Structure formats: C-alpha cells, structure tokens
Structure 1
C-alpha cells in the first residue's frame, strides 16, 4: 500500500500523456486529410504538405508530451531528465520538419518543370537552383538545430562562453580549418544563382566528357560517358576554367576529319554527305559543310561540319558520317585513299614487299 502512494502522481501524468498522444494522433489524421484535399489544386504546396505529414505524425505527439511534462509536478522523480530529453526530441523534430518542408518545396518546384522534353534548358536551370539552394538551407537548419540542442546543456553553454572569452586563437584555427567547408557552401550559392553549370549539363573537365548527375552542397558528380563518376568540389568550378557544351543551348556542331589522296574529287563527296544526312535522324538540318581545310606533302585534309540537337546525338552523327564517307571512298574511289608515291626507277629497285601489286 505504501509502495503505491508515490506512484499515484506518475500514474496521473502517464494517463495524461497517453490521452495527449491519442489526441495528437487523431488531430494529425484529421488535419492530414483536410490539408491533402485543400492543397490538391496547388502542386507545390501539396508537395510540401505530403513531405511534412510523416514528420508531423511524430512531432505532434512529442509536442503534446512536452506540454504534459511541463505541467507535471517538479517533485516527480526523473521529471527534469524526461523534460530535457523530450525537449531535445522536439528540437530535432522541428529541424526534421523544416528539412522535409524545404525538400517538398524543391521537389514541387522541380516537378512543375519536367526535364523530359527536348528543350529542357529552363527546367534544368530551375532544378539546379532548387536543389542547391534547398541543400544549403537544409545544412543551415541542421547546424542551427545542433546549436539549439547544445544550448540546452548548461555545461555546454559554460564551455562555449569560456572558449569565446579565452580561446581566440582556437577560434582562428577552427575558422581556417573550416574554410574549405564554407567556401564550398558559398560556391554552391554562386553556382545556384549564376548558373555556370546545371543538372544534366555536358561538361569537359580534366579531359573527361560527362553529364552533371548531381550537385550537392559541397561537390558535383559528373557521370562520365563510360559510367564512371568524377567527383569535383564546388570551389573548383569557381577557380578553374572548364567547358560547358550546353550553357545556353544543347545544340552543338560536330566535326569529322578525313584524309585522302590529292586526286579525290570533292563534289561527289559533298553529294554523298548530303544523301547520308537526309536519312540520318540525328541531324537537325542546320549545318552541313564539307571543306578541304589542309594539305600535306602526301594527303589532303577534309573537314565535315554537321549539327545536332545534343552532344550525344552529335557523337552518333559523326560516327555515321565518318563510316558512310569512308565506305563511299573505298567503293567509288579506292585509288584515292592515302598513298605513298615513289618515282618509277626507285619503285623498280625497291624490295618486292614495298611494291604495290
């Protein structure tokens, strides 16, 4: 009987906590249904609501529990520790809610501008800005949440105050050590606003051709054509030059170089080029040029310039044109392939292996 007396205050508090959690669950279910229907006609807001609903399923009970613990008597054993722990959970849940809302907002904006269209330049620009800015904001939320959680510990506040008062050198060292992190964050903001690169842009970096697969708050993932991944810090793009083949448009010119004998007539080759391009789905009908661009003591250099809607199509078109023109020369003008000429008297004295049949 005496053992049960100290438990009665806790029993009332626990019952109140159970009632509060049940009430929070019911409120969450009703609010989720109402908000889903109310925001169905607003895609971006609907995306934010959908992202926040799972978080609120956890956060609402935590908030109601915190109210119960605060209303409970301070004489209850362990109540201060429970209040502190629940408060930390509420802070973590609030940060989680903000991160979910930011993510939902970014996803909603990106979904409004699909990139699976032929001219997706504007969609890629918006997707890059949304992802980089959202991840930067998420980083700020996490740092602010950790700072708020640490400030709930009296010991941490005292340590922080003493470090600020007497350890200025340590602060300078920490600032120097953290410089790469902050420089990458600032570089991320510059990239999001100035747009030197975007998601799915075609870049040439360190001699590697690839597409931008992901832009995080600290680095960029470049998907190389052979499925490798090149990881580049954001700061690198601010400090180094690089090629962006899709900066203002995905349209691009492709070149094909051929080497032939001086006797090769160019007009039939131009006619064959036009015939090949007319049947090539990769050609966008903008540019079709065949020119003799250089000569050496043995061969002529022929440059073919063609256009395509994207770099991938341009590569396929170059291969198609190169194969077709080489086959044409082999079939129609086999004697105009690159040759090594010798005077007749020198050829007669040459070993049999060097003489042409």
Structure 2
C-alpha cells in the first residue's frame, strides 16, 4: 500500500505546490501591472504562468521520483523523460520571458515616439523583431543540444567528431555560406537601418511595402496584394528604391503628351484650381511645365506633393484623369492627333 500512496502523495503534492505557486505569481504580476500601468512588462509576463508551472512541477518530480519509488522498474526511463521535459519547459519559459521583454520595450517606445517619428518606431520594431527571433533561435538550438547530450551515445559521437572539427568547419562553412550570409544581412538591416517594416520600396520594378523581415528572407506586399519573398542579402548587395527614407513626403509626377496648340497657361491655371479639391494633396508644392517637344507633340509635366507613397499614387491618378477630362471637354484640339491620308489605289488592270 505504501508503494502506491507515496508516488501518489508526491505527485499530488507537486501539483498542489505548482498550482499555488502559479496562482501567487500571477497575483503578484497582476498587482504590479495595476500599480505600474506605464510599464506593460508585468502584464506581459503573466503569459509565462503555464511554462513556469511546467518547469516547477517537472523540477519537483525530477528531484523526488527516486525517493517516491515512482515506477521503480523504469526509474531510468522516468528520469530521462523528466529531464527532457524540464529542458524543453525551461526553453519555453525563456522564450516567453524574452518575448515579454521585447514586446514591452517596443510598446513603451511606440507609445512615446509614435506621434513624433513614425520612421524611428518602424526601425525599432524591425530591430526588436529580429532580436526576438535571434534569441528564440539560440534558445531552441541550445535546448536541442542539451537534450541530445543527455543520451550517452550522442556524447561519444560529439567527442569523436571534435577530432575532425577543422574539416567539418570548412565543409559546413561552404555549405552554409548562403544561409550565414542571409543571417548577417538580416542583422545588418536591423541595426544599419537600411530598410524597415512598413517602408515603401521598389524592388525589380515592383512597388510595395515591407511586410515582414526575418533572419533569412524579406516579404514585400505589392499594391495588388501579391507577396514578393526574397533573401535579405538582396537588400545589402543590390540597389533598390526606398521611398520612406528621409521622410515619407513625396512628389508625384504626371506626364501628358499634347498637341503644340495646347493652352499651357490655361492648363496650369486649371491645375491650380483643382488641387485643393483633391484630399491627397498636402498643399506643399505644385508645378506644371513643358519639359520636351517633338515634331508631333509636346510633353507637359505636372507635379504635386503628398504626405506618403500611398497618397502620391492616388494624387497622380486624380491629376491625370481631371486634366485629360478638362482638355477633352474644353480644348479637344490640344489632344495629340495622328495625321493620316487615304491609301492610294494600286495602279494596274
């Protein structure tokens, strides 16, 4: 009877201690969050309750299962399983704590600087995202290595491989050259501030916004909702356009090819009148000039400013549409014409 009661008592006591400790920790974090609402860390740390309880319960069982006589015929297997669970749960808890810390830093910074510098907020968001992924990757790798080292054959295998570590290092370096290049390129992007999440970019003649940056690839969401995925090393080795660098304001350009008789001064006056009715125009500047001429037409360039890339696209479309509609309605002769004559019939029978 004692052989049954002792394991049950140890298991029940461990579960009770775990539940009480989890409840107490959650209560303390809730009170700290109430007293310090300006710091979201305490509320975010409440997400660590479940992994904390798993770590605590596994630690208690791991330290007492032999004395409790739990499955004495399989004590080695029980100890191995508890050790693996403990390593995995510690890694889980470490990832949750890192996530809470990163989210807390970003939330506080975003709340303080959102109204002042949106570009800096997006830069910090990119950096903390990549830092979180690096920490998560390191914790997972260390946890997997620790779990493998609990098996004696793996320890012997690791010792035997150390003798040829130099050759293996060279082979692995050559094989992982692209992956390592993307890894360091991702860190360079994060801390070099070359491109950030939310930036408007033009890559391979495709216009879109940076939606996601990982350690190995970057995703651009195009205007027609396609996703372009490319290695992050592209942004450190090839030129691309970043419309969000140095401020989001932009100047939109519209080119019209018109007849030589086009009333340019009247067209300029009409542009000045229609711009206040276009909500995307930010009121900073505008212009309309003749930039080129050919034997058949002239090239007129209209420019206007907008607060960001999304508005400048809509502004360009509105200007182009309204100027052409006004010319077609009031000065149709100003639109380009193609001179043509009837075909001469071929002489002959």
Query: Which residue, 334, 337, 341 being the options, matches 1:336?
Result: 334
CA distance in 2, matches of 1:169, 1:253: 56
Which deviates further from its counterpart, 150-159 or 77-86? 77-86
Residue by residue over 1:82-125, the C-alpha shift from the partner in whole angstroms, topping out at 9 and shown as x without a partner, is 11211111111111111111222222233331698696212211
Please show how residues 1-357 of structure 1 align to structure 2 within 5 Å.
8-9=2-3, 11-40=5-34, 41=36, 42-69=38-65, 71-72=67-68, 76-112=72-108, 113=110, 120-166=118-164, 168-341=166-339, 350=342
CA distance in 1, matches of 2:321, 2:70: 86
CA distance in 2, matches of 1:276, 1:313: 16
Q: What's the TM-score once normalised by structure 2's chain length?
A: 0.90
Give how far 1:339 is off.
2.1
Report the CA distance shift for 1:47/1:176 in structure 2 as closer, same or farther (over 3 A).
farther
Report the CA distance shift for 1:116/1:327 in structure 2 as closer, same or farther (over 3 A).
farther
Report the CA distance shift for 1:312/1:166 in structure 2 as closer, same or farther (over 3 A).
closer
Q: Which runs of 5+ in 1 are unaligned?
A: 353-357
CA distance in 2, matches of 1:185, 1:166: 25
Give how far 1:351 is off.
5.1
CA root-mean-square deviation? 2.3
- Alignment partner, residue 347 of structure 2: none
Residue by residue over 1:128-154, the C-alpha shift from the partner in whole angstroms, topping out at 9 and shown as x without a partner, is 111111111111111111111111111
Residue pair 2:6, 2:68 contacting (<8 A) in 1 also: no
Report the CA distance shift for 1:224/1:30 in structure 2 as closer, same or farther (over 3 A).
same
CA distance in 2, matches of 1:73, 1:176: 52
The alignment partner of 1:43 has SS state of: coil
Q: What's the TM-score once normalised by structure 1's chain length?
A: 0.88
Q: How many residues align?
A: 340
Which deviates further from its counterpart, 275-284 or 43-52? 43-52
Give how far 1:175 is off.
2.8
